[in-house]
A = this chain, B = another copy of it.
Amino acid sequence: MTLHIINQSPLGGSALQDCLGSFVEGDALLLIEDAVYAAASPAEHKLPQGQVFALAADAQARGVTLAQAVTGIDETAWVDLCVAHTPIVSWFR
């Protein structure tokens, strides 16, 4: 099952929308860098239910409060996610 990683803000570019078009149930979604803005309102951005993560450090840096449906993780948990998933797809710029 795929781990999708997005680093672009939800309205600033197409990365999130492109990713959601390739998301399959059972995949995991990780929001990093500017993508954490989507983690404040997952329903509005049509994020999948469950298996949605965000880097806590990136959210904290930007003053973003994670919605309950999004699991905040640190870098170690990110490594674990990578171990548990294959392939890992980055959606950027």
Q: Give A residues with C-beta under 8 Å from B.
A: 11-14
Contacts and interface: CB of A to CB of B under 8 A. Distances in A.
Oligomeric state, in copies: 2
A61 B80 CA distance: 45
Contacts of A11: 14
A18 to B, nearest CB: 9
Contacts of A14: 11-13
A11 B13 CA distance: 8
5 contacts: A11-B14, A12-B13, A12-B14, A13-B13, A13-B14
Contacts of A12: 13-14
A66 to B, nearest CB: 23
